[in-house]
Amino acid sequence: MKKGGNAEQSILIVGCGISGATAARVLAEEGHRVTIIDQRTHIGGNCYDHWDENGICVHDYGTHIFHTDNRKVWDFISRFTKWYPFQHKVRGLIDGQLVPIPFNLNSIHQVFPAKLAQRLEDKLLEKFGYNIKVPILKLRETDDEDLRFLAEYIYKNIFSFYTQKQWDLNPEDLDPAVTGRVPVYISKDNRYFQNRYQGIPLSGYTAIFEKMLNHPNITVRLNTKYEDIRHMINTVENSQTTGKVGQMASDAITVDFILYSGSIDEYHAYVLGELPYRSESFDFITFGREYFQSEAVINYPNNYTFTRIVEYKHFLGTVSDKTVVSYEYPEPFVRGKNERYYPIVNDTNQLLYNQYKAKADTDRVNSKVPVYFFGRLGDYKYYDMDKAVERAMALVEEIAA
């Protein structure tokens, strides 16, 4: 639905994370007036970071590495930052050794005796080829005895217990898109991502959002819940309010439409039920040593109750005699207690989301103030950062170009 072509419009965006901020900037540069609100006291959503007293940039809501093959997305974000060319590598504690994750040919040769490792490599190359990513559940379907052994070893030592910790589910109970995010990689490339463009912003992610939202057509209102202002929202045509979009007169906030990146079930007061999410808690610890571990991220698939330890100074090559790490503990999302992190995507939950989306589409047709849902919570979909940017750009082009 396009309202008014290229005519100036007044837009309310709910959520000041990467989806909302991208949409706000694109709309502002097209001449539209934007108010963006967030219930938190800071911009950036889960991408928010800060610099501590030791000069280390700490990611407050977990690790974020920007990676993409989309040149348009990369160029857009690059307008607001210079990059540290970080190539992300992850190791996991497997049988007492730190091995490359995803499990690859180097991992095979590290954990198995030489003759067995070579036999497994030869059979993988013969069956699948080189530089191929094979989902673990697909590898388990092989009829070769050696490859079945390998599949079961990887499933047990990397996927099974880790998935139970992370999702409180077995791998078979998740959407294949989730388990396929960490495949068996028939390669000697130890990088976690193979995207053309990868990096960490030199000044941190928060600085990106500060620059992205610094535009005369954008008004930012933090510590503002949508529920507290939704009764004041009115159409531009019917409102007597004057001034900039988001001006809080006694009776109305004037908008042409709303972009909502919060949770779609919360917006609808959970009338169809609650969409499940997983959350995370973090234990941040500062150590009086130069480094704590060899890589930025070490996974613990089978040991401990945390899933991984992250050491932040690796991301920007920070020089300091102190270091900061975080232990990550997955937990259920509980309203009012923690944050929504990961949609639990499976057939049952997808069906519930589809029902909410159908309701939202129907409501939008009949509403004087159309509401469009997007982002990780609005779409009930796990987005890498580049995909969130791409989705926000596409939505803006669809409804406001």
Indicate the residue among 304, 332, 360 that finishes a domain.
332
Provide mean pLDDT across the span 344-372: 94
If you average pLDDT over every residue of the chain, what do you get? 91
Residue 315 sits in the same domain as residue 356: no
Query: Is residue 119 situated within a structural domain?
Result: yes
225 and 356 belong to one structural domain? yes
Where does the pLDDT of residue 244 fall: very low under 50, low under 70, confident under 90, or very high at 90 and above?
Answer: very low
Give the mean pLDDT of 155-179.
Answer: 84
Q: 83-92, 244-253, 279-288: which has the minimum mean pLDDT?
A: 244-253
Give the residue numbers spanning the domain of 135: 90-186
Residues of the chain with pLDDT > 90, as a percent, come to 82
pLDDT at residue 277 tops 90: yes
**pLDDT above 60 for 3:** no
Do 60 and 66 meet the contact criterion of CB atoms below 8 Å apart? no
Which 3-state string (H, E, C) describes the chain?
A: CCCCCCCCCEEEEECCCHHHHHHHHHHHHCCCEEEEECCCCCCCHHHCEEECCCCCEEECCCCCCEEECCHHHHHHHHCCCCEECCCCEEEEEECCEEEEECCEHHHHHHHCCHHHHHHHHHHHHHHHCCCEEECHHHHCCCCCHHHHHHHHHHHHHHHHHHHHHHHCCCHHHCCHHHHCCCCEEECCCCECCCCCEEEEECCCHHHHHHHHCCCCCEEEECCCCHHHHHHHEEECCCCCCCCCCCCCCCCCEEECEEEECCCHHHHCCCCCCCCCEEEEEEEEEEECCCCCCCCCEEECCCCCCCCEEEECHHHHCCCCCCEEEEEEEEEECCCCCCCCCEECCCHHHHHHHHHHHHHHHHHHHHCCCCEEECHHHHCCCCCCHHHHHHHHHHHHHHHHC
Is 99 found in the same domain as 19?
no
363 pLDDT higher than 90:
yes
Tally of domains within the chain? 3
- Whether 157 and 35 share a structural domain: no
223 and 322: one domain?
no
Does any domain span residue 269?
yes
How large is the average pLDDT for residues 5-30? Answer: 92
Please check whether residues 236 and 280 belong to one and the same domain.
no
pLDDT at 6: 60
Q: Which of 20-24, 121-125, 350-354, 363-367 has the lowest mean pLDDT?
A: 363-367
pTM here is 0.91
Check whether residue 327 and residue 351 sit in a common domain: no
Query: Does 134 share its domain with 236?
Result: no
Same domain, 389 and 248: yes
Domain CATH code at residue 241: 3.40.50.720
Q: Are 95 and 180 in a shared domain?
A: yes
Question: Would 82 be classed as within a structural domain?
Answer: no
Residue 129 has pLDDT above 90, yes or no: yes
The verdict on residue 127 lying in a domain is yes
- For residue 57, is it within any domain? no
Q: What is the pLDDT of residue 233?
A: 84
- 181 and 102 together in one domain: yes
The pLDDT score that the predictor gives to residue 282 is 97
| Confidence at residue 180, expressed as pLDDT on a 0 to 100 scale | 63
Kindly indicate the confidence band of residue 118, based on its pLDDT and cuts at 50, 70 and 90: very high
Residue 4 pLDDT exceeds 50: no
pLDDT of 82 higher than 70: yes
